[in-house]
Each structure stands twice: as C-alpha cells, then as structure tokens.
Amino acid sequence: MKAIYIVVTLLLFACCLTFCDTNYGKPSLSPLTKNQEADSLKIADSIEHLKLIEKASEARTFCKEKKYNTEFCLLINMHVHSGLTRFYVWDFEKNTAIDSGMVSHGCGTNPWGHDQSKTSPQFSNVYESHCSSIGKYKIGDRGYSNWGIHVNYAMHGLDSTNSNSYGRQICMHSWNMIGKVESYPEGTPEGWGCAAVSDEFMKRLDEKLKTATGDVLMWIFI
C-alpha cells in the first residue's frame, strides 16, 4: 500500500510540472501542446488505474464477507472524464479488468442528453435530482427496459449515499446515445442518473450477469 502512495505522489508531482511554470510554480499561461496534453492524460490514467486496483481489492473483501459473487464485480470510476472508459468488469481471480465500456451519469440541473458535466458530475440520493448516486450496489432482477436492447438490471443501493436508488428507479440499461468507443474531449450524453451503457456493452454485461452465481456487486465511486 505504501508503494502505491509513493507512486501516486510521484505521478502527481510530474503532473504539476507539466501544468506549472518552472520558475515560480505558478500556472503557465501558455496552452498545452499536444504532447503535453497526451503526457498529462497518461499520468492521470496511471493514477486512476491505481485507484481501480485499490477499489477492486476492497470490493473483493466486501464480497467475501457479505457472501456476494467472488468471481467478478462491476466498478465505475466517476472521477474519470465521461468521454473516457470508466466502467469495468473486474475479474477477482485474474485481478484485472476483463471488459470495459463507456457509461453515462445523471445530468442533474443540466439539459438531458448533453455532456455539460462531463468533467464535474453532481451526485445525489434525492428523488427527482436527476443525479447519479455513488456507493455500493447489489445488482437486482433482470427486467424490461424501454431503452436500448430492452434489458435492464435493478440497482439496490447499499450505502447512505445511494439508499434511494431503487425507489428512484435507477438501474443499469443500454442507450443508443452511448458510444462504443471513447469520445474524449467530448463527453458521454447524460441521463437522469441511471448507469447507461452502449448496446454492445450491455449485451456482454447481460450474458455475464445471467450466468452469475449469487449477488453481484457494483461500486460507483469518485
């Protein structure tokens, strides 16, 4: 664990050097070059990958203690730009992501179907907030959806931050507005709080969940 923190610290320091003036540490007024932007994205991706590994380890402990499915879980990192991959199917045995895709978050007070909060999503557990909720979920029953491939999965919130999710009809489903590939710097269209994915990704998730033994954990975090 200490090694992870050291690596994160070094990466953050490198990121600061990318964005700051080397003379006095003040932010540079000059725009980033394409190479600098690419380097910054690599650094950010490395940090988020370390966070993903840490969350996966915590998720594995949770699933063992609560007698959930210990083969895989679903992890969504909402700290990542919505135009980048941030939904992962994590294999506990292999200790790696075996599938991934794009996922939307709730639009909140912004217009539905746009990407105005692609870098700064709002989260809420309040009814009619049109926001996503962070926290652990138990994936519930498979049902019919009016969207995408007409399949959805209920999401039962397990924490105080998402306890109203089932009552708010927050679920996982597909939506034809969600792309198959990353759209950065554009974001993913925002809905009313559901974990909406592409039709193709939903088909793969559906097959995985239909054959899963026991309750499956989904964890949405920032």
Instruction: Map out the domains of the chain with their CATH numbers.
Output: 2-221 (2.40.440.10)
> What's the pLDDT score for residue 192?
98
128-157 pLDDT tens trace: 999 999 999 999 999 999 999 999 999 999
**What is the pLDDT confidence band of residue 47, given thresholds at 50, 70 and 90?**
confident
Contacts of 5 (CB under 8 A, 6+ apart): none
What separation in angstroms does the CA of 62 have from each of 36, 88, 95, 136, 199? 39, 17, 15, 10, 30
- Residue 1 pLDDT > 80: no
> What's the pLDDT score for residue 44?
72
27-38 pLDDT tens trace: 333 455 666 656
65-102 pLDDT tens trace: 999 999 999 999 999 999 999 999 999 999 999 999 99
* Residues 183-208, mean pLDDT to the nearest whole number: 98
- Residue 13 pLDDT > 90: no
113-124 pLDDT tens trace: 999 999 999 999
- Residue 19 pLDDT > 50: no
> What's the pLDDT score for residue 36?
60
168-190 pLDDT tens trace: 999 999 999 999 999 999 999 99
134 or 45, greater pLDDT? 134
